[in-house]
Amino acid sequence: MSTALAPAAFATDDAPSRRLKLVSGEEFGILVATILVILGAGTIADGFFSSENLLSIAQQIALLGIVATGMTYVIVVGEIDLSVGSQYGFLAIALAWMLHDVGIPIGPAIPLVLLLGAAIGAVNGVVTVLFQIPSFVVTLATLSILRGGALLLSEGVPLKGSADTAFRDLLAGHPLPNLSAQSVWMIGVMVIGGLVLAFTRFGSDVYSVGGNPKAARDAGINVSRVKVTCFALAGALAGLAAIIMVAWLGSANPLTGTGFELSVIAAVVVGGASLTGGKGTVFGTLLGAIIAGVLSNALVLAGIDGNWQQVATGALILVAVLLNKLVANRAARARTP
């Protein structure tokens, strides 16, 4: 199959290193950073490596990981969703309101909340693509609208969740001692979300649209539909996180999720996604969420003033972005013949 001009020895498509088969070069950098952060946390904080503590980190990052999976799709497709924190708070209130004020049983209420989340996300997407408004602005508006909606619906006070024990056990119980159901849900969402993004036609379209929307359109990809689907997915996953939260805490607070969008975006960006679109993976986002979770856990265990957590998180974002830039530049130089 090779010609004289391109001898087989010249082509190296099928001989990537083992490491490249598992994770790409850029993800490898994040993986190394994650391991370093974990080792560093283990040295400054006693008891960090106990299984109890590690599983509690997994529980703490579960909702972050679920919402950040949806955000990964939105960012890779070249958009942003600032309203996920408000969606999460609003959908939690909506669930409690359906259960108590409307009287819908928990069984049908769960799919209704997921659908409502998808619909809210789809509205974000449709307004963005139809009127060609930057999603930053559209979702900034929905951030405010949904927060107001949550406060209006709940009259500003926390609402009771469901007393259904099966609901609680399924979404926020303990399938194994110390292992919380939230973590299992996160792993499920991230495995499926990661497979779809990496290995399906739709995932491929998400990368193409995010990388060059005009080229994608020229190639016959329905750019608007791909973008709206990503927003809808992010909304549905914010709904899932809201349901799990209500099951876990047994109540819904209209202020839940205030500022959550920043942690979510941070996890995605630390995980190597580019805000200009076309780049990022769910696995990277998982690493981003783990780094954030480990950092705040270690600071607590080490007895450091909680206000330092915010400083550390901000510094982490900056360092991650700088490292990504460095890796990308080196990779670009290596590619140039």
Residue nearer to other proteins on the CB measure, 21 or 155: 21
Q: Which stretch binds other proteins (CB under 8 A): 105-113, 177-185, 207-215, 256-264?
A: 207-215
- Region of 248 (left: φ > 0; alpha: ψ -120 to 50; beta: rest) is alpha
Least distance from C-beta 290 to other proteins, angstroms?
25
**Measured distance CA(288)–CA(286) in Å, rounded:** 5
Contacts of 271 (CB under 8 A, 6+ apart): 30, 68, 72, 280, 281, 283, 284, 285, 286, 287, 288, 289
Question: Would you count residue 204 as binding other proteins (CB under 8 A)?
Answer: yes
Residue nearer to other proteins on the CB measure, 208 or 313: 208
Q: Tokens in use for 331?
A: 């990779």
Least distance from C-beta 115 to other proteins, angstroms?
23
**Measured distance CA(315)–CA(205) in Å, rounded:** 33
The DSSP annotation for 246-307 comes to HHHHSEE-TTTTTTHHHHHHHHHHHTT--TTSS---HHHHHHHHHHHHHHHHHHHHTT--TH
- Residue from 97, 61, 147 nearest 252 by CA: 97
Residue nearer to other proteins on the CB measure, 223 or 298: 223
Least distance from C-beta 68 to other proteins, angstroms?
20
Say if CB 88 and CB 67 are below 8 A apart: yes
* Residue from the set 210, 235, 239, 293 that interacts with other proteins by CB under 8 A: 210
Least distance from C-beta 180 to other proteins, angstroms?
31
Q: Tokens in use for 243?
A: 């349901």
* Residue from the set 157, 218, 303, 306 that interacts with other proteins by CB under 8 A: 218
Question: Would you count residue 224 as binding other proteins (CB under 8 A)?
Answer: no
Question: Would you count residue 73 as binding other proteins (CB under 8 A)?
Answer: no
Question: Would you count residue 155 as binding other proteins (CB under 8 A)?
Answer: no
* Residue from the set 92, 95, 216, 240 that interacts with other proteins by CB under 8 A: 216
* Residue from the set 102, 200, 308, 326 that interacts with other proteins by CB under 8 A: 200
Question: Would you count residue 201 as binding other proteins (CB under 8 A)?
Answer: yes
Return the biggest CA–CA distance within the chain: 76
Provide Rg for the chain, Cα atoms: 21
Q: Which stretch binds other proteins (CB under 8 A): 43-51, 116-124, 204-212, 237-245?
A: 204-212
Residue nearer to other proteins on the CB measure, 117 or 210: 210
Strands 251-252 and 159-160, sheet pairing: antiparallel
Least distance from C-beta 198 to other proteins, angstroms?
9
Q: How many positions of this chain bind other proteins (CB under 8 A)?
A: 37
Kindly state the helix (H) or strand (E) to which residue 328 belongs, with its residue range. Answer: helix 307-335
Q: Binding mask 237-276 vs other proteins (x if CB under 8 A, - otherwise)?
A: -------------------------------------x--
Question: Would you count residue 221 as binding other proteins (CB under 8 A)?
Answer: yes
Q: Tokens in use for 150?
A: 């949550």
Q: Tokens in use for 326?
A: 């460095």
Q: Which of residues 5-44 bind other proteins (CB under 8 A)?
A: 5-6, 10-14, 16
Least distance from C-beta 218 to other proteins, angstroms?
5
* Residue from the set 208, 256, 285, 296 that interacts with other proteins by CB under 8 A: 208
Q: Tokens in use for 46?
A: 């006693």
DSSP state, 4? T
> Cα 123 vs. chain centroid, distance in angstroms?
19
Contacting residues toward other proteins, per CB under 8 A: 1-3, 5-6, 10-14, 16, 199-201, 203-204, 207-208, 210-212, 214-216, 218-221, 274, 277-279, 331-332, 335-337
